[in-house]
Amino acid sequence: MSDTSARRYSTGAMIFHWLIAVLVIMNWQIVERAQDLEGPLRGEVMGYHKAWGIAILVLTVGRLLWRFTHKVPPLPSNLAGWEAALARTVHVIFYVLLIGLPLGGWLANSMTGRDIDFFGLFTIPPLPTGENEDLGGSIFDLHALGGTIFIYLIGLHILGALKHTFFDKNGGIFRMLPFGKVPG
């Protein structure tokens, strides 16, 4: 393994990262667009949001399994202590949200008596929670709040990657790409 590859994430980690990132941004945009719709069309669009959410959940479990079985490169040595702590904290919160948001959506759907159609391939049944419209609605509200927090954290993550790439010149974004310079 070259010195540069030891400072980069593995190919599998890169694939999981970028695939999940694209799906999260796409799913956020799907739900944003659905807010302006009504009736059956809104339900159809929200069906895609739910199906992609389950796909994100499955990919995140795969990503975590990959992470636990593959070495993660160390953070750049020129990070301030607060930057390293912030990076680790944001990554933990990302994983919590990548698992918690889809599970929360599934739980809220279950409590409001809805199953999840996975792109017409199969149906994901409600969790055995019993129906509780009020609690389901509250969970949907928390789900939306979590999604909003997630989007802001993604913005922070992107700004941090750009700062580390172009100002600190420590490799930043290139640690998660198969090209570009990752200095020692």
Q: CA 73, CA 169: separation in Å to the nearest integer? A: 17
pLDDT tens, residue by residue, 122-136: 999 999 999 999 999
Burial annotation 92-129 (CB, 10 A radius, 16+ → b, else e):
ebbeebbebbbbbbbbbbbbbebebbbeeeeeeebeeb
Within 10 angstroms of residue 65's Cβ, the number of other Cβ atoms is: 12
Q: CA 49, CA 134: separation in Å to the nearest integer? A: 22
Domains of the chain: 3-176 (1.20.950)
Quickly list H helices, the chain. 3-6, 11-34, 39-69, 81-111, 133-166
Structure tokens at 97: 């949200």
Q: The pTM is what? A: 0.93
pLDDT value at residue 6: 79
pLDDT tens, residue by residue, 70-115: 999 999 989 999 999 999 999 999 999 999 999 999 999 999 999 9
pLDDT value at residue 4: 59
Residue linked to tokens 């750049």:
76
Burial annotation 141-171 (CB, 10 A radius, 16+ → b, else e):
eebbebbeebeebbeebeebbeebbeebebb
